Amino acid sequence: MEIVTQHEYILFHLYYKCSERGIALRTFSMLKGLPVYTNRGECIGTVNDICLSDIGKIEGIMVHRKAIVKKRRFVSLNDVHSFGPEGIVLKQWEDSQHGYKPKVHYHLFHADCLFGKMLFSRAGEELGMLQDVYFLENLGTIVAYETTDGFFSELTEGTRLIKSKQPPVLGKDAILISVYDQ
């Protein structure tokens, strides 16, 4: 008999509901470090961050290209053809079109970092520090947050998965989410 934790049960439930509708669910931790390929098979770098709008919608990914001068490029979710287990393939890629700065306000790890920020319910309940996000790959909608209470707590209790159907409020000091208004 296999023991399933509440975290695994919720995760299975999320994946099942999404796959029923033909929607793929992703986490940033699954994407980080994956190579990104153009439709011509050229690797333009690896994923090193995701970009969020001020309403908490994932707008795209940041791709890091190893070079003498560190290059980071924004790739919109609209430009992604597919997310695979071994890499991401883009629909079309014209190098000259993608030198612009994205209109995003937050990143998971870099500038205006959300990773490690405290997550609170709108009722004021502390939910833990943000560790990862679960999102619908074709829509960019965040559907769940993975949180932790810290290193030692993670070793003894593990991480928590918190579902939310409402967009988050991304504040300077904390992130507010709806957990009861489902």
Domain positions in the chain: 6-25+114-177, 32-107
CA distance 45 to 42: 9
- pTM, 2 dp: 0.74
CA distance 136 to 18: 8
| Residue 54 neighbours by CB under 8 Å, 6+ apart | 105, 106, 170
Burial of 24 (0-12, 13-18, 19+ CB in 10 A): middle
Q: Is the pLDDT of residue 3 over 50?
A: no
CA distance 43 to 25: 24
The token duo for 81 is: 């053809």
The token duo for 87 is: 């890499």
Q: Is the pLDDT of residue 158 over 90?
A: no
Three-state SS annotation for 66-116: CCCCCEEEEEEHHHEEEECCCCEEECCCCHHHHCCCCCCCEECCCCCECCC
Q: Which CATH number applies to 32-107: 2.120.10.70, 2.30.30.240, 3.20.20.330, 1.10.3090.10?
A: 2.30.30.240
Q: Lowest mean pLDDT: which of 32-41, 47-56, 63-72, 126-135?
A: 63-72
**6-25+114-177 CATH:** 2.30.30.240
CA distance 91 to 128: 37
Predicted local confidence at residue 14, as pLDDT: 52
- Give one word for 17, left, alpha or beta, with left for phi > 0 and alpha for psi -120 to 50: alpha
Considering just the CA atoms, what is the radius of gyration of the chain in Å? Answer: 17
What are residue 36's DSSP bridge partners?
45, 88
Q: Is the pLDDT of residue 4 over 50?
A: no
Q: How much helix, strand and coil, in percent to the nearest 5, is found in the chain?
A: 20, 40, 40
User: What is the rounded average pLDDT of the residues 54-81?
Assistant: 83
